[in-house]
Structure 1
């Protein structure tokens, strides 16, 4: 697979690290509108072809696939030309800023007949994959209740950088710079984590969003800090289960932690994922009587990057695809409506 990188920011570096370790993948080009950033990136990773516009890259055309690592707002206008050109695409999450644009991208990809995937990175968490298998196999019985949380602390610490002075973080706090806040940034991850692990789709949603004051006048330089910082959400799942999902950037002591608890009529599962460590625990069978939880060993699973490369090589689609990400975006969009209207909505 001859691959080009669209956007050369921090996540692009992470993707190059992953793709460069996969046999049969050659990174042949990079695209960015910032000439200095593009040069530094291409020099670091020894990428020969460099383009200041996507049109130039498509006109060159000597590539099979692209990974789209541009900011959220740019996913839609940059992915569509790639699909028209018949290129396979791995797109960063969220697929688009709203469901309408995400659906347009989905339908374009399906018309083009190309491999299309969204980099919901926590699909790489082996305990999540194993938990889903156990749920589908009926090992905990019918799922009745789900709890999911995604906790970050970068608004109360500088572990990832200083959000007060670094544009990398400031744009994520500003709707005017394309951010839908914590809901749009990491909400899509925890909703996917919950629904995928519990092996059922979200059917109804009611959400509360909160933006806290972070600076005098709610502004730092050109950035209006008006995007949501925390959300809580109650959901009904298609199988009848009830769920509670929440996320925050104010979670002191939690650098980047996802947790999922799945309770069935015959057992429970708990997945915890933090940087560098993941764990699956179960309370199953007779242990349910005495509430004994046991750690379940889980082998590694292929990453999204490996599965995308395999899909391009074999022509066999892999998940998570654009349609799945568009459906998640529909939930996020409706969550914002429920906040405004204070009512539950059906997905």
Structure 2
């Protein structure tokens, strides 16, 4: 019988609701505590999910110590300063993406996790897409041969249609447009997802990146109240992968008609794949031998994927790998940092 896992939830904002729901249905997992500096929100969260203990600070929780693992659902800038003491205390950690806001901190986190010998994972949520996982298996099995080219995109439209709310008046959206409020724009927010989507399926790391960023006029004077709207709204990148594969990556919040859609087309010398996640549904199509001559594309069946919450617990209990781990999170953060540096230099191609 597997040892039960006592879980602490760090941060009780909107995303923490998904974590609490996901972990609460896993046999053998007890959510034993919540941590948040906002007392009213913390109390409501713990009452909603019947969590018996609550702490105003992480230090108090660590001093208490009656937990085995943590899911870190704090804002991006808090990931590094909150995760490091947890690793020092020997706790397993699932951290929301991005792992940190700069590569140096992400690399510190990965090194500390390795030293601590604990399970460490980063929540790259699109790893839960069945078409992504099946495409990755097919590439690794050599079904499309040697990868040579790809094109990937992450398309959102919430700056042109208020499907999720009105960004002009709602702070939960408005902060994402202001660097002073912690936003790194579309590159920092969703760039990590589409870069992981593309390079994970391709089974290659990026060795060079060229990036251009654009920020568009969205309000008179470029601001709304205290929010200066200077974060990037669109990003385009060219990537050179380890084996010489060349590909393009785009991310935008101005893709009218696309609420939250990811696409990848990837081609090898023996075939091609088209991966999509649109309207919360994934699809995989392939053109393989003997269909290359007629360019016929066929739908590929994709088995369901175990959610990351279960995979985190499985890893703790020794029943599965800890993937994606902090090392992967740090690798992606290095790529994001270099993309941002490239944009500041007019799109100059930089080594990663």
- Length-normalised TM-score, structure 2: 0.96
Of 185, 205, 211, the residue aligned with 1:201 is: 205
Question: 1:53 Cα shift?
Answer: 0.9
Matched with 1:100 is 104
Q: What residue number does 1:224 align with? A: 228
The aligned residue for residue 115 of structure 1 is 119
Matched with 1:183 is 187
Q: Which runs of 4+ in 1 moved over 4 A?
A: none
2:315 is the alignment partner of 1:300: no
**1:183 positional shift:** 0.5
Q: How many Å separate the matches in 1 of 2:56 and 2:231?
A: 30
TM-superposed CA distance for 1:83, in Å, is 0.8
Q: Give the C-alpha shift of residue 81 in structure 1.
A: 1.1
Q: C-alpha root-mean-square deviation of aligned residues, in Å?
A: 1.1
1:214 to 218, 234, 238: 218
Report whether the alignment pairs 1:158 with 2:175.
no
User: Is 2:149–2:267's contact at 8 Å kept on the other side of the alignment?
Assistant: yes
Q: After the TM superposition, which residues 51-90 of structure 1 pair with which residues of structure 2 at under 5 Å, given as runs?
A: 51-90=55-94
Aligned to 1:345: 350
User: How many angstroms does 1:317 deviate by?
Assistant: 4.4
Question: Does structure 2 retain, via aligned residues, the 8 Å contact 1:72–1:179?
Answer: no
Deviations 1:252-303 (A, max 9, x none): 1101001011101111001101243110000111211111111101110212
2:215 and 2:232 in contact (8 A); partners too: yes
CA displacement, residues 69-118 of structure 1 (integer Å, 9 cap, x when unaligned): 11111111111111111110000000011101111111111111111100
**Alignment match, 2:49:** 45
Asked if the contact 1:115–1:317 (Cα under 8 Å) also holds between the matched residues in 2, the reply is no
Q: Which sits farther off after the overlay, 114-123 or 159-168?
A: 159-168
Q: Secondary structure at the match of 2:292?
A: helix
CA apart distance, 1:34: 1.0
How far the C-alpha of 1:235 sits from its partner, in A, is: 0.5
Length-normalised TM-score, structure 1: 0.98
Alignment of 1:20 with 2:24, yes or no, is yes
Alpha-carbon separation, structure 2, partners of 1:158 and 1:39:
31
Match of 1:131 in 2: 135
1:313 aligned partner: 317
2:257 equivalent to 1:253:
yes
Cα separation, 2, equivalents of 1:104 and 1:177: 24
Question: 224, 230, 248: which one pairs with 1:244?
Answer: 248
CA contact (8 A) 1:181 1:228 kept: yes
Q: Output the CA distance in 2 between the equivalents of 1:239 and 1:81.
A: 38
Match of 1:192 in 2: 196
Distance 1:315 1:107, change over 3 A: farther
1:290 aligns with 2:289: no
Task: In structure 1, list runs of 5 or more residues that go unmatched.
Answer: none
